[in-house]
Amino acid sequence: MRNLKLNLKHLRYFWAVASHGSMARAAEALFLTPQTISGQMRDLEEQVGDKLFAREGRNLVLTDTGRLVFSYADEMFKLGLELQDLLAGNASGSMLTVKVGVAMVVPKLLAHRVLAPVLEMPERIRLICHEAPLADLLADLSVHKLDVVLADSPINPVLNVRAYNHVIGESGISFFATPEKAEILTAKFPASLGGSPMLMPGSGSSLRRNLEAWFERQQVHPLVVAEFEDRALMKAFGERGSGVFTSPTAVEQDVVDKYGVAVFGRTEEITERFYIISAERRIKNPAVSVITEAARTKLFA
C-alpha cells in the first residue's frame, strides 16, 4: 500500500471547484487564475492516483473517486468554517443548515407543509430552499450542493446520478373552481368536466400524463386553455376564474383557504406520490429525518 499524503491546499481548491461547479467560478471566489486552479487539480489527481473530474460537454462532473473525496472534503471544510464562526463568537455557527431542492412541479402549499416541521425543531435551523427543474436539482445533489431534493417522481434510472428515492407519501386528486362554477360542476362530476376550461400542469409533470389518461377512461374532454410549470401560478389563474384545476387532496383545505375556491370533485384513481431524494441510502441528517417522519405520519397519514 503506497503512502498517500494529501496536500490540504490542493484539497481546498478541489472543494471550491466541486462546490462552484467550474474552475472559473472557483478561481474567482479564491482570487486566483483558472490556470493556477487547473494546475493544482492536476497535482491533486497525481497524489490521489485517479481522475477526480470528467468532462460532459462544457461541464465538469465528479467521477466516483471525486464524489468520495468531495464527501470528506465537504465535511472537513464546513466544520472548519463552523469552528471559525464559533471562535469568533458568531452565534450562527451553531445553526444546523439544511439545503433542500424543490422540483418546480411540486405544489408550493405541499412543499411548505412538508418542509415547515424543520423550523419547529428545538435546534436552531437554517432552511435553504432552491427551486429548479428536477434534472438541475439532481445535478446539484450529485456534487453535494443540496442535502436532499423534494420531487413528485423518483430519480430516472437512466440518469448517471447516484441517489436514492425515499417515498414520503401519496395523495389522491381534488378538482377546484370558483365557488359559483364549482356549484354547477359538482352534480355531474366527472362528466361535467367535458368542455370545461381546464388549467393543466406542464407536460413534464407525471400528473399531466395521469390526468390525460384518466380523462380518456372517463370519456370526458376538458378544454385545456393553459398549462403551467409553476402550479402556484396555475392556482392564481384558477382563483380568477380562468379555468378548473387540480391539487393533491392532502392539501385540499390549504388550497380552499388560500385561494377562495371550492372543491367540486375528487378521485383516488389518480394519485400523486412524493419523494425525498438523497445522496445517501440511509438518511442521517436530523432535519431531513424530521421532514420525512412528519410527512409520513401527519401530512399523508
Q: What is the pLDDT of residue 94?
A: 59
Three-state SS for 281? Answer: coil
Q: In the CATH scheme, what architecture does the domain 170-271 have?
A: 3-Layer(aba) Sandwich (3.40)
Q: What is the pLDDT of residue 277?
A: 94
This prediction has a pTM of 0.67
> Which residue in the block uniquely carries the three cell numbers 431542492?
101
Q: How many CA atoms lie within 13 A of 65 on its CB side?
A: 12
Say how many Å lie between the first and final Cα of the chain, rounded.
53
Q: In 3D, which of 190, 185, 176, 154 has the Cα closest to residue 276?
A: 154
Q: How many CA atoms lie within 13 A of 119 on its CB side?
A: 8
Q: What is the pLDDT of residue 267?
A: 97
Cα(222)–Cα(208) distance, integer angstroms? 13
Which CATH code fits 8-85? 1.10.10.10
> Could you list the pLDDT tens digit for every one of the 301 residues in the chain?
456 677 788 888 888 888 887 888 888 878 888 888 888 888 888 888 889 988 877 778 889 898 888 888 887 887 776 666 556 554 544 577 889 999 988 999 999 999 999 999 888 888 999 999 888 898 888 878 888 999 988 887 777 777 889 999 999 999 999 999 999 999 999 999 999 999 999 887 789 999 999 999 999 999 999 999 888 999 999 999 999 999 999 999 999 999 999 999 999 999 999 999 998 888 888 889 999 999 999 999 8
Q: In the CATH scheme, what architecture does the domain 94-168+274-299 have?
A: 3-Layer(aba) Sandwich (3.40)
- Please report, to the nearest 10 degrees, the dihedral formed by the alpha carbons of residues 115, 153, 202, 210 taken in order: -120
Residue range(s) of every CATH 3.40.190.10 domain in the chain? 94-168+274-299, 170-271
Q: In 3D, which of 9, 3, 2, 148 has the Cα closest to residue 76?
A: 9
Residue range(s) of every CATH 1.10.10.10 domain in the chain? 8-85
